[in-house]
Amino acid sequence: MILEGFGVGPMDANCYIIGCNEKRVAAVVDPGAEGKRILAKLEEIKLKCQYIILTHGHIDHIGALNEVRQATGAEVLVHKNDAPMLTNPAHNLSLFMGSAIKCKQADRLLEDGDRVNVGNVNLEILHTPGHTPGGICIKVGNNLITGDTLFAGSVGRSDFPGGNHNVMIKSIKTKLLQFPDETKVYPGHGPASTIGAEKKYNPFL
């Protein structure tokens, strides 16, 4: 399995590439900005992008969706509760940040427990509402991609439309903290962590 992450755009949102070594295919998680750089990275590691998976529908995670989708022809996957954010610039918050972003509808709507196969790499979708109604985390091997739900030492904001702090804490406690301490956490912003470190040191949990 290949797992690479890098910050993109003015809000430094982490974009992740999950790839299969054998089949040379990939899923891009959260193409938030800098589409050309994401496409160059795929080319550099010689992976064909099969899926674009969105941890949620906020602008800093979907800003380069149109560009990467168009260039790769990849299928776009989002949780059903965040699906309206793709097509509505007010819902994805871009309307309030200078340039309205509107995308076509997703190709596949996700639900809790869904599996997505990227070549021989199996991804499990965990519905973790609270930051947004359709926020998801992605489990792959011993790793969790946590979007804006769980950060190193912090949790996501819940003051955007559709956010709910108590729901988010419940999502984290019931869906994420069940995994072993050594499970790696790759958030939507900032550095990586582990479930064990978050259990011990995260003041919100």
CA dist., res. 194 & res. 123, Å (int) = 18
Q: Does 91 bind Zn ion (CB under 5 A)?
A: no
60 binds Zn ion, rule: CB under 5 A: yes
Structure tokens at 90: 């007010």
Residue 153: partners with Cβ closer than 8 Å, 6 or more residues away: 193, 198, 201, 202, 203
CA dihedral over 48, 145, 171, 182, signed as positive or negative: positive
Q: How many whole angstroms separate alpha carbon 50 and alpha carbon 36?
A: 17
Nearer to Zn ion, 143 or 146 (CB): 146
Q: Which stretch binds Zn ion (CB under 5 A): 9-17, 110-118, 176-184, 190-198?
A: 9-17
Nearer to Zn ion, 82 or 198 (CB): 82
Instruction: Indicate the residue among 149 and 183 with the shorter CB distance to Zn ion.
Output: 149
- Rounded CA separation 135/82 (Å): 7
Residue type, 159: D
Among positions 15, 19, 52, 58, the unique one binding Zn ion when judged by CB under 5 A: 58
Candidates 76-84, 107-115, 143-151, 194-202; binding stretch for Zn ion (CB under 5 A): 143-151
Return the range that interacts with Zn ion (CB under 5 A); candidates 10-18, 19-27, 79-87, 104-112.
Answer: 10-18
Q: Does 82 bind Zn ion (CB under 5 A)?
A: no
> Whole-number minimum distance, CB 54 to Zn ion, in Å?
10
Question: Rounded distance, CA 81 to CA 154, Å?
Answer: 24
Residue selected from 148, 149, 163, 176 as contacting Zn ion according to rule CB under 5 A:
148
Least Å from the CB of residue 163 to Zn ion = 9
Sheet containing 75-79: give its strands across: 2-8, 13-19, 25-29, 48-53, 75-79, 108-110
CB of 181 to Zn ion, least distance (A): 26
Is 198 among the residues that bind Zn ion (CB under 5 A)?
A: no
What gap in Å lies between CA 190 and CA 144, rounded to an integer?
14
Considering the complex, what minimum distance in angstroms separates the CB of residue 171 from Zn ion?
14
- 30 is an interface residue for Zn ion by CB under 5 A: no
List interacting residues with Zn ion (CB under 5 A): 13, 58, 60, 148, 188
